[in-house]
Structure 1
Protein backbone atom coordinates (compact mmCIF):
# COMPACT_ATOMS: atom_id res chain seq x y z
CA UNK A 1 0.00 0.00 0.00
CA UNK A 2 1.27 3.47 -0.83
CA UNK A 3 2.38 5.08 2.40
CA UNK A 4 0.32 8.21 1.82
CA UNK A 5 -2.87 6.16 1.98
CA UNK A 6 -2.57 5.55 5.70
CA UNK A 7 -2.13 9.19 6.74
CA UNK A 8 -5.55 8.80 8.36
CA UNK A 9 -3.85 6.80 11.11
CA UNK A 10 -2.83 10.17 12.52
CA UNK A 11 -6.00 11.97 13.56
CA UNK A 12 -4.58 15.44 12.97
CA UNK A 13 -3.76 14.58 9.36
CA UNK A 14 -7.17 12.93 9.01
CA UNK A 15 -8.81 16.17 10.14
CA UNK A 16 -7.15 18.24 7.41
CA UNK A 17 -9.39 19.46 4.57
CA UNK A 18 -8.70 17.68 1.26
CA UNK A 19 -7.07 20.69 -0.42
CA UNK A 20 -4.55 21.18 2.38
CA UNK A 21 -3.77 17.48 2.66
CA UNK A 22 -3.15 17.25 -1.10
CA UNK A 23 -0.53 20.00 -0.81
CA UNK A 24 1.28 18.00 1.87
CA UNK A 25 1.09 14.51 0.37
CA UNK A 26 4.15 14.84 -1.93
CA UNK A 27 6.19 16.11 1.04
CA UNK A 28 5.08 13.70 3.77
CA UNK A 29 7.63 10.98 4.48
CA UNK A 30 6.83 7.79 6.37
CA UNK A 31 9.42 7.16 9.11
CA UNK A 32 10.16 4.44 11.64
CA UNK A 33 10.32 5.69 15.23
CA UNK A 34 12.28 3.18 17.33
CA UNK A 35 12.13 3.13 21.12
CA UNK A 36 14.39 5.76 22.66
CA UNK A 37 14.96 7.65 19.40
CA UNK A 38 15.39 11.40 19.99
CA UNK A 39 13.41 13.52 17.52
CA UNK A 40 14.92 16.76 18.77
CA UNK A 41 17.09 18.03 21.59
CA UNK A 42 16.65 21.09 23.77
CA UNK A 43 17.49 24.35 22.01
CA UNK A 44 17.99 22.80 18.56
CA UNK A 45 16.27 24.38 15.56
CA UNK A 46 13.63 22.00 14.21
CA UNK A 47 13.77 21.03 10.55
CA UNK A 48 10.73 18.70 10.55
CA UNK A 49 7.51 18.14 12.39
CA UNK A 50 6.31 14.62 13.14
CA UNK A 51 2.86 13.06 13.02
CA UNK A 52 2.99 9.77 14.98
CA UNK A 53 0.70 6.97 13.82
CA UNK A 54 1.57 3.93 15.94
CA UNK A 55 4.40 5.47 18.00
CA UNK A 56 4.15 7.59 21.15
CA UNK A 57 6.56 10.47 21.74
CA UNK A 58 7.37 11.86 25.17
CA UNK A 59 8.19 15.54 25.64
CA UNK A 60 10.74 15.74 28.45
CA UNK A 61 12.43 18.53 30.35
CA UNK A 62 16.00 17.59 31.24
CA UNK A 63 17.83 19.30 34.11
CA UNK A 64 21.54 20.17 34.15
CA UNK A 65 22.26 17.13 36.35
CA UNK A 66 20.65 14.81 33.80
CA UNK A 67 17.41 14.22 35.70
CA UNK A 68 14.29 14.44 33.59
CA UNK A 69 10.52 14.54 33.82
CA UNK A 70 7.80 14.20 31.23
CA UNK A 71 5.67 17.25 30.49
CA UNK A 72 3.40 15.72 27.81
CA UNK A 73 2.90 12.78 25.46
CA UNK A 74 2.03 12.92 21.77
CA UNK A 75 0.66 10.01 19.78
CA UNK A 76 -1.71 9.41 16.90
CA UNK A 77 -3.81 12.39 17.98
CA UNK A 78 -1.23 15.05 17.23
CA UNK A 79 2.00 16.60 16.08
CA UNK A 80 5.52 16.86 17.52
CA UNK A 81 7.21 20.23 16.95
CA UNK A 82 4.66 22.95 17.74
CA UNK A 83 7.44 25.52 18.29
CA UNK A 84 7.81 25.73 14.50
CA UNK A 85 4.43 27.33 13.96
CA UNK A 86 4.33 29.14 17.29
CA UNK A 87 7.27 31.25 16.15
CA UNK A 88 10.00 29.97 18.45
CA UNK A 89 11.82 27.63 16.08
CA UNK A 90 13.25 25.67 19.02
CA UNK A 91 12.16 24.58 22.49
CA UNK A 92 13.89 23.85 25.83
CA UNK A 93 12.48 20.32 26.02
CA UNK A 94 13.51 17.05 24.38
CA UNK A 95 11.28 14.76 22.30
CA UNK A 96 11.96 11.02 22.75
CA UNK A 97 10.07 8.01 21.40
CA UNK A 98 8.59 6.23 24.43
CA UNK A 99 6.70 3.55 22.48
CA UNK A 100 8.15 2.32 19.18
CA UNK A 101 6.14 2.58 15.99
CA UNK A 102 5.82 4.66 12.87
CA UNK A 103 4.76 8.12 11.81
CA UNK A 104 5.11 10.77 9.15
CA UNK A 105 7.37 13.77 9.01
CA UNK A 106 6.93 17.01 7.12
CA UNK A 107 9.59 19.64 6.32
CA UNK A 108 9.40 22.68 8.56
CA UNK A 109 8.97 25.12 5.69
CA UNK A 110 5.89 23.29 4.38
CA UNK A 111 4.18 23.50 7.75
CA UNK A 112 5.05 27.17 8.25
CA UNK A 113 3.84 28.06 4.76
CA UNK A 114 0.48 26.36 5.40
CA UNK A 115 0.16 27.98 8.83
CA UNK A 116 0.84 31.42 7.35
CA UNK A 117 -2.03 30.98 4.89
CA UNK A 118 -4.23 31.65 7.95
CA UNK A 119 -6.71 29.03 6.80
CA UNK A 120 -8.15 25.85 8.31
CA UNK A 121 -4.73 24.45 9.23
CA UNK A 122 -3.94 27.43 11.44
CA UNK A 123 -7.16 27.05 13.43
CA UNK A 124 -6.74 23.27 13.73
CA UNK A 125 -3.15 23.55 14.96
CA UNK A 126 -4.00 26.28 17.47
CA UNK A 127 -6.79 24.17 18.95
CA UNK A 128 -4.43 21.21 19.18
CA UNK A 129 -1.83 23.41 20.87
CA UNK A 130 -4.35 24.57 23.46
CA UNK A 131 -5.16 20.94 24.25
CA UNK A 132 -1.45 20.13 24.53
CA UNK A 133 -0.89 23.08 26.87
CA UNK A 134 -3.72 21.76 29.05
CA UNK A 135 -1.97 18.39 29.23
CA UNK A 136 1.30 20.09 30.22
CA UNK A 137 -0.35 22.16 32.93
CA UNK A 138 -2.28 19.21 34.33
CA UNK A 139 0.88 17.10 34.37
CA UNK A 140 2.62 19.74 36.48
CA UNK A 141 -0.30 19.82 38.94
CA UNK A 142 -0.48 16.03 39.07
CA UNK A 143 3.24 15.61 39.73
CA UNK A 144 3.03 18.12 42.58
CA UNK A 145 -0.16 17.05 44.35
CA UNK A 146 -0.99 13.42 43.55
CA UNK A 147 0.49 10.10 44.61
CA UNK A 148 2.86 8.11 42.42
CA UNK A 149 0.16 5.43 42.04
CA UNK A 150 -2.24 8.06 40.65
CA UNK A 151 0.45 9.51 38.37
CA UNK A 152 1.20 6.07 36.96
CA UNK A 153 -2.51 5.47 36.31
CA UNK A 154 -2.79 8.79 34.49
CA UNK A 155 0.30 8.01 32.43
CA UNK A 156 -0.97 4.54 31.50
CA UNK A 157 -4.35 5.91 30.43
CA UNK A 158 -2.80 8.63 28.27
CA UNK A 159 -0.58 6.00 26.64
CA UNK A 160 -3.49 3.59 26.07
CA UNK A 161 -5.48 6.31 24.30
CA UNK A 162 -2.66 6.56 21.78
CA UNK A 163 -2.27 2.82 21.13
CA UNK A 164 -4.46 0.29 19.35
CA UNK A 165 -4.06 -2.47 21.93
CA UNK A 166 -3.91 -2.88 25.68
CA UNK A 167 -0.18 -3.59 26.01
CA UNK A 168 2.57 -1.04 26.64
CA UNK A 169 6.22 -1.98 26.15
CA UNK A 170 8.21 0.14 28.57
CA UNK A 171 11.16 -0.47 30.90
CA UNK A 172 11.20 0.62 34.54
CA UNK A 173 14.02 3.02 33.74
CA UNK A 174 12.05 4.77 31.00
CA UNK A 175 8.93 5.06 33.15
CA UNK A 176 10.96 6.48 36.03
CA UNK A 177 12.52 9.03 33.66
CA UNK A 178 9.09 10.01 32.39
CA UNK A 179 7.63 10.48 35.85
CA UNK A 180 10.80 11.91 37.36
CA UNK A 181 10.93 9.35 40.20
CA UNK A 182 13.18 6.49 41.32
CA UNK A 183 12.86 3.09 39.64
CA UNK A 184 11.96 1.51 42.98
CA UNK A 185 8.94 3.79 43.24
CA UNK A 186 7.73 2.75 39.78
CA UNK A 187 8.12 -0.93 40.68
CA UNK A 188 6.15 -0.50 43.88
CA UNK A 189 3.35 1.41 42.16
CA UNK A 190 3.14 -1.15 39.34
CA UNK A 191 3.00 -4.02 41.83
CA UNK A 192 0.13 -2.28 43.65
CA UNK A 193 -1.82 -2.15 40.39
CA UNK A 194 -0.97 -5.77 39.59
CA UNK A 195 -2.10 -6.94 43.03
CA UNK A 196 -5.41 -5.15 42.46
CA UNK A 197 -5.91 -6.97 39.15
CA UNK A 198 -5.61 -3.78 37.10
CA UNK A 199 -2.47 -4.64 35.11
CA UNK A 200 -0.06 -7.48 34.42
CA UNK A 201 3.54 -6.32 34.67
CA UNK A 202 6.60 -8.32 33.62
CA UNK A 203 9.91 -7.65 31.90
CA UNK A 204 9.04 -4.22 30.57
CA UNK A 205 5.59 -5.25 29.34
CA UNK A 206 2.50 -3.73 30.92
CA UNK A 207 -0.83 -5.21 29.94
CA UNK A 208 -3.95 -3.41 31.14
CA UNK A 209 -6.45 -6.00 32.35
CA UNK A 210 -9.20 -3.68 33.62
CA UNK A 211 -9.36 -0.17 32.19
CA UNK A 212 -12.39 0.78 34.28
CA UNK A 213 -10.48 0.04 37.49
CA UNK A 214 -7.51 1.96 36.11
CA UNK A 215 -9.68 5.03 35.55
CA UNK A 216 -11.18 4.74 39.03
CA UNK A 217 -7.72 4.61 40.62
CA UNK A 218 -6.47 7.59 38.63
CA UNK A 219 -6.79 11.18 39.83
CA UNK A 220 -8.99 13.72 38.05
CA UNK A 221 -6.06 14.86 35.87
CA UNK A 222 -6.63 12.26 33.15
CA UNK A 223 -10.31 13.15 32.80
CA UNK A 224 -9.53 16.89 32.64
CA UNK A 225 -7.04 16.37 29.81
CA UNK A 226 -9.28 14.00 27.85
CA UNK A 227 -12.27 16.33 28.16
CA UNK A 228 -10.24 19.23 26.78
CA UNK A 229 -8.97 17.21 23.81
CA UNK A 230 -12.52 16.07 23.05
CA UNK A 231 -13.82 19.64 23.35
CA UNK A 232 -11.20 21.33 21.19
CA UNK A 233 -10.56 18.82 18.47
CA UNK A 234 -12.85 17.53 15.71
CA UNK A 235 -14.68 14.23 15.48
CA UNK A 236 -11.70 12.58 13.77
CA UNK A 237 -9.90 12.71 17.12
CA UNK A 238 -12.61 10.82 19.00
CA UNK A 239 -11.64 7.31 20.12
Structure 2
Protein backbone atom coordinates (compact mmCIF):
# COMPACT_ATOMS: atom_id res chain seq x y z
CA UNK A 1 0.00 0.00 0.00
CA UNK A 2 2.67 2.48 1.05
CA UNK A 3 5.70 1.06 -0.76
CA UNK A 4 7.17 3.44 -3.33
CA UNK A 5 10.57 1.85 -4.17
CA UNK A 6 11.51 4.39 -6.85
CA UNK A 7 11.49 7.36 -4.49
CA UNK A 8 15.10 8.58 -4.06
CA UNK A 9 15.20 8.37 -0.26
CA UNK A 10 17.03 5.96 1.98
CA UNK A 11 14.70 6.43 4.93
CA UNK A 12 12.26 3.51 5.05
CA UNK A 13 9.26 5.59 6.13
CA UNK A 14 9.70 8.13 3.35
CA UNK A 15 10.00 5.27 0.86
CA UNK A 16 6.65 3.94 2.04
CA UNK A 17 4.72 7.18 1.64
CA UNK A 18 2.19 7.56 -1.15
CA UNK A 19 3.13 10.23 -3.74
CA UNK A 20 0.45 12.54 -2.34
CA UNK A 21 1.61 12.20 1.26
CA UNK A 22 5.22 12.71 0.25
CA UNK A 23 4.26 15.81 -1.70
CA UNK A 24 2.56 17.22 1.39
CA UNK A 25 5.80 17.30 3.40
CA UNK A 26 8.53 17.54 0.74
CA UNK A 27 8.40 21.36 0.46
CA UNK A 28 9.28 21.55 4.16
CA UNK A 29 11.99 18.88 4.12
CA UNK A 30 15.63 19.88 4.57
CA UNK A 31 18.66 17.62 4.23
CA UNK A 32 21.00 17.94 7.19
CA UNK A 33 24.28 16.46 8.38
CA UNK A 34 24.04 14.98 11.87
CA UNK A 35 27.40 14.71 13.64
CA UNK A 36 27.76 12.45 16.67
CA UNK A 37 26.08 13.87 19.82
CA UNK A 38 23.82 16.20 17.82
CA UNK A 39 20.83 16.93 20.05
CA UNK A 40 17.57 16.19 18.23
CA UNK A 41 15.18 16.49 21.18
CA UNK A 42 15.53 17.60 24.80
CA UNK A 43 13.46 16.34 27.72
CA UNK A 44 10.34 18.47 28.38
CA UNK A 45 11.27 20.88 25.59
CA UNK A 46 9.20 21.67 22.52
CA UNK A 47 9.99 19.38 19.58
CA UNK A 48 11.13 21.74 16.85
CA UNK A 49 11.87 19.25 14.07
CA UNK A 50 11.11 15.65 13.20
CA UNK A 51 14.11 13.83 11.67
CA UNK A 52 13.87 11.04 9.11
CA UNK A 53 17.32 9.47 9.32
CA UNK A 54 19.05 8.17 6.22
CA UNK A 55 22.33 7.30 7.88
CA UNK A 56 23.60 7.02 11.45
CA UNK A 57 21.79 6.12 14.65
CA UNK A 58 19.88 8.23 17.18
CA UNK A 59 19.38 7.17 20.79
CA UNK A 60 16.34 7.99 22.89
CA UNK A 61 17.75 8.36 26.41
CA UNK A 62 15.81 8.53 29.66
CA UNK A 63 17.45 10.49 32.47
CA UNK A 64 17.38 10.25 36.24
CA UNK A 65 19.10 12.57 38.75
CA UNK A 66 22.84 12.18 39.33
CA UNK A 67 23.58 11.31 35.71
CA UNK A 68 21.84 7.92 35.62
CA UNK A 69 21.02 7.87 31.91
CA UNK A 70 19.83 4.83 29.96
CA UNK A 71 18.92 4.31 26.34
CA UNK A 72 15.28 3.33 25.90
CA UNK A 73 14.99 3.56 22.12
CA UNK A 74 17.09 3.25 18.98
CA UNK A 75 16.27 4.99 15.70
CA UNK A 76 17.95 4.64 12.33
CA UNK A 77 17.00 4.70 8.68
CA UNK A 78 13.94 2.57 9.50
CA UNK A 79 12.20 5.34 11.41
CA UNK A 80 11.94 8.89 12.62
CA UNK A 81 12.31 10.99 15.73
CA UNK A 82 9.40 12.99 17.15
CA UNK A 83 7.05 10.06 17.75
CA UNK A 84 5.02 12.22 20.11
CA UNK A 85 4.27 14.63 17.26
CA UNK A 86 2.52 11.79 15.43
CA UNK A 87 0.48 11.24 18.61
CA UNK A 88 -0.57 14.89 18.74
CA UNK A 89 2.00 16.06 21.30
CA UNK A 90 4.60 18.79 21.04
CA UNK A 91 7.08 18.18 23.90
CA UNK A 92 9.75 15.53 24.17
CA UNK A 93 9.54 12.94 26.94
CA UNK A 94 13.25 12.09 26.71
CA UNK A 95 16.51 13.30 25.21
CA UNK A 96 17.26 12.12 21.68
CA UNK A 97 20.72 12.58 20.19
CA UNK A 98 22.97 11.06 17.57
CA UNK A 99 24.84 8.03 18.84
CA UNK A 100 26.54 7.42 15.49
CA UNK A 101 27.06 10.30 13.07
CA UNK A 102 24.90 10.35 9.97
CA UNK A 103 22.48 12.44 7.96
CA UNK A 104 18.80 12.77 7.29
CA UNK A 105 15.88 14.94 6.36
CA UNK A 106 14.14 17.13 8.88
CA UNK A 107 10.67 18.63 8.82
CA UNK A 108 9.48 21.40 11.17
CA UNK A 109 7.17 19.77 13.70
CA UNK A 110 4.29 22.22 13.05
CA UNK A 111 4.47 21.48 9.31
CA UNK A 112 4.30 17.74 9.93
CA UNK A 113 1.42 18.19 12.38
CA UNK A 114 -0.45 20.16 9.74
CA UNK A 115 0.13 17.45 7.13
CA UNK A 116 -1.02 14.77 9.58
CA UNK A 117 -4.26 16.65 10.24
CA UNK A 118 -5.01 16.66 6.51
CA UNK A 119 -4.05 13.09 5.59
CA UNK A 120 -5.42 9.96 7.26
CA UNK A 121 -3.03 7.75 5.28
CA UNK A 122 0.04 9.70 6.40
CA UNK A 123 -1.14 9.54 9.99
CA UNK A 124 -1.88 5.82 9.71
CA UNK A 125 1.62 5.04 8.47
CA UNK A 126 3.43 7.10 11.09
CA UNK A 127 1.25 5.65 13.87
CA UNK A 128 2.22 2.16 12.73
CA UNK A 129 5.85 3.18 13.12
CA UNK A 130 5.13 4.59 16.60
CA UNK A 131 3.65 1.20 17.46
CA UNK A 132 6.87 -0.55 16.39
CA UNK A 133 8.90 1.89 18.50
CA UNK A 134 6.70 1.12 21.50
CA UNK A 135 7.29 -2.61 20.96
CA UNK A 136 11.04 -2.02 20.75
CA UNK A 137 11.13 0.00 23.99
CA UNK A 138 9.01 -2.54 25.86
CA UNK A 139 11.39 -5.34 24.87
CA UNK A 140 14.33 -3.19 25.90
CA UNK A 141 12.79 -2.81 29.36
CA UNK A 142 12.27 -6.58 29.59
CA UNK A 143 15.78 -7.40 28.41
CA UNK A 144 17.41 -4.85 30.70
CA UNK A 145 15.57 -6.33 33.68
CA UNK A 146 15.98 -10.03 32.94
CA UNK A 147 18.97 -10.71 30.67
CA UNK A 148 22.67 -11.03 31.33
CA UNK A 149 24.97 -8.24 30.24
CA UNK A 150 26.62 -10.22 27.45
CA UNK A 151 23.18 -11.02 26.00
CA UNK A 152 22.12 -7.40 26.25
CA UNK A 153 25.30 -6.24 24.55
CA UNK A 154 24.86 -8.79 21.75
CA UNK A 155 21.28 -7.60 21.17
CA UNK A 156 22.32 -3.95 21.18
CA UNK A 157 25.12 -4.57 18.68
CA UNK A 158 22.71 -6.42 16.39
CA UNK A 159 20.24 -3.53 16.56
CA UNK A 160 23.01 -1.05 15.71
CA UNK A 161 24.23 -3.29 12.89
CA UNK A 162 20.72 -3.31 11.39
CA UNK A 163 20.83 0.47 11.07
CA UNK A 164 24.22 1.01 9.41
CA UNK A 165 25.75 0.00 6.08
CA UNK A 166 29.03 -1.24 7.53
CA UNK A 167 30.38 -3.75 10.03
CA UNK A 168 32.22 -0.94 11.84
CA UNK A 169 30.59 0.94 14.72
CA UNK A 170 32.38 4.08 15.92
CA UNK A 171 31.50 3.76 19.59
CA UNK A 172 33.35 3.95 22.92
CA UNK A 173 33.04 1.76 26.01
CA UNK A 174 31.89 4.80 27.95
CA UNK A 175 29.07 5.49 25.51
CA UNK A 176 27.95 1.84 25.54
CA UNK A 177 27.79 1.98 29.34
CA UNK A 178 25.30 4.86 29.08
CA UNK A 179 23.29 3.09 26.40
CA UNK A 180 23.00 -0.09 28.48
CA UNK A 181 22.74 1.64 31.85
CA UNK A 182 25.68 -0.20 33.42
CA UNK A 183 29.09 0.74 34.73
CA UNK A 184 31.96 1.05 32.28
CA UNK A 185 34.07 -1.78 33.83
CA UNK A 186 31.18 -4.19 33.25
CA UNK A 187 30.97 -3.13 29.59
CA UNK A 188 34.71 -3.67 29.18
CA UNK A 189 34.43 -7.22 30.54
CA UNK A 190 31.45 -8.00 28.30
CA UNK A 191 33.25 -6.63 25.22
CA UNK A 192 36.30 -8.73 26.04
CA UNK A 193 34.09 -11.80 26.34
CA UNK A 194 32.50 -11.21 22.93
CA UNK A 195 35.89 -10.52 21.43
CA UNK A 196 37.28 -13.71 22.96
CA UNK A 197 34.53 -15.67 21.22
CA UNK A 198 35.47 -14.12 17.90
CA UNK A 199 32.14 -12.28 17.56
CA UNK A 200 33.59 -8.77 17.44
CA UNK A 201 36.90 -6.95 17.25
CA UNK A 202 37.24 -4.00 19.60
CA UNK A 203 39.72 -1.15 19.23
CA UNK A 204 39.83 2.30 20.74
CA UNK A 205 36.57 3.98 19.78
CA UNK A 206 35.41 1.27 17.38
CA UNK A 207 33.75 -2.15 17.39
CA UNK A 208 33.82 -4.34 14.28
CA UNK A 209 31.11 -6.98 13.85
CA UNK A 210 32.82 -10.24 12.84
CA UNK A 211 30.15 -12.90 13.41
CA UNK A 212 26.56 -11.68 13.27
CA UNK A 213 25.13 -15.20 13.53
CA UNK A 214 27.18 -15.76 16.65
CA UNK A 215 25.85 -12.56 18.19
CA UNK A 216 22.33 -13.71 17.36
CA UNK A 217 22.91 -16.99 19.18
CA UNK A 218 24.42 -15.22 22.18
CA UNK A 219 21.46 -12.83 22.37
CA UNK A 220 19.43 -15.92 23.28
CA UNK A 221 16.01 -14.77 22.13
CA UNK A 222 16.34 -11.14 23.22
CA UNK A 223 16.67 -9.97 19.59
CA UNK A 224 14.30 -10.28 16.60
CA UNK A 225 10.77 -10.04 17.99
CA UNK A 226 10.50 -6.22 17.58
CA UNK A 227 12.19 -6.56 14.19
CA UNK A 228 9.59 -9.10 13.06
CA UNK A 229 6.80 -6.83 14.28
CA UNK A 230 8.22 -3.92 12.28
CA UNK A 231 8.12 -6.01 9.12
CA UNK A 232 4.62 -7.36 9.91
CA UNK A 233 3.16 -3.90 10.52
CA UNK A 234 4.96 -1.91 7.86
CA UNK A 235 5.88 -4.53 5.29
CA UNK A 236 9.03 -4.57 3.19
CA UNK A 237 10.58 -2.04 0.86
CA UNK A 238 12.84 -2.90 -2.06
Q: TM-score range by the shorter chain?
A: over 0.9
Taking the TM superposition and a 5 Å limit, the aligned residue runs for 1:15-164 are: 15-164=16-165
Superposition misfits of 4+ residues, deviation over 2 angstroms: none
State the aligned residue count. 233
The 3-state SS of whatever aligns with 1:65 is: helix
Cα RMSD after superposing both structures: 1.4
Shift of 1:233: 1.0
Structure 2 Cα separation of the partners of residues 147 and 232 of structure 1 = 29
Structure 2 Cα separation of the partners of residues 23 and 117 of structure 1 = 9
Q: Deviations over 1:28-77 (max 9, x none)?
A: 11111111111111000111100111110000001121110010100000
Corresponding residue for residue 202 of structure 1: 203
Say whether the 8 Å CA contact 2:195–2:202 is kept in structure 1.
yes
Corresponding residue for residue 211 of structure 1: 212
Structure 2 Cα separation of the partners of residues 51 and 7 of structure 1 = 13
Q: Deviations over 1:51-107 (max 9, x none)?
A: 111110000001121110010100000010111121221132100100001111001
Structure 1 Cα separation of the partners of residues 86 and 144 of structure 2 = 28
Cα–Cα, structure 1 residues 129 and 47, in superposed 2: closer, same or farther, change >3 Å? same
Structure 2 Cα separation of the partners of residues 126 and 65 of structure 1 = 34
The 3-state SS of whatever aligns with 1:111 is: helix
Corresponding residue for residue 172 of structure 2: 171
Q: Deviations over 1:100-146 (max 9, x none)?
A: 01111001122111211242111111110110000000000000000
Q: Deviations over 1:181-232 (max 9, x none)?
A: 0111111111111100100001011111111101000032211111111111
Query: Unpaired segments of 5 or more residues in structure 2?
Result: 1-5
The 3-state SS of whatever aligns with 2:89 is: coil
Corresponding residue for residue 185 of structure 2: 184
Cα–Cα, structure 1 residues 52 and 7, in superposed 2: closer, same or farther, change >3 Å? farther
TM-score by length of 2: 0.94
